Amino acid sequence: MKAKVVAIALLVTTAIPLFGGVVFVGNVASVTNGGSEAVLVVEPSRYDNTGMTLKPYTAVYVYADFRNAVDGDKFKFVGECIGKVTYTKASGAEATVWGFRGVVVPIAPGQTNY
């Protein structure tokens, strides 16, 4: 019985940093890799706990589930910063931006309580 309790506690403690460190809202600029990654443009919002003060309208690269997303969709991101990442833009040029990994919550058009 003790082994099960320890295993559950370990699972919970390892999941907490991934789903609670960074929160921001952004609009999809481009979805890549079959919807498992996207470039988001950070929206000015009441969230500023990234530890790096993301400036509004900054592009960031996010590893999360964007399978049903289209350009312009708005998401709340919760997760962690993984450092700088380089990706290829639609123009073929490379860009280096902050990268994040976590989960996204869709925000419906007109929704203001996020």
Q: Which fold has domain 19-107?
A: OB fold (Dihydrolipoamide Acetyltransferase, E2P) (2.40.50)
How large is the C-alpha radius of gyration of the chain? 16
Minimal CA–CA distance to 26: which of 53, 48, 59? Answer: 59
CA–CA distance, 63 with 112 (Å, rounded to integer)? 25
H/E element, 14: helix 2-15
Domain ranges of the chain: 19-107
Residue 103: the pLDDT is 96
Q: Per residue of the chain (114 residues), give pLDDT as tens.
A: 454 444 333 333 333 344 458 889 999 999 999 999 999 999 887 665 556 668 889 999 999 999 999 999 999 999 999 999 999 988 999 999 999 999 999 999 988 887
Residue 3: the pLDDT is 47
pTM of the model: 0.77
Residue 51: the pLDDT is 63
Minimal CA–CA distance to 82: which of 47, 51, 56? Answer: 51
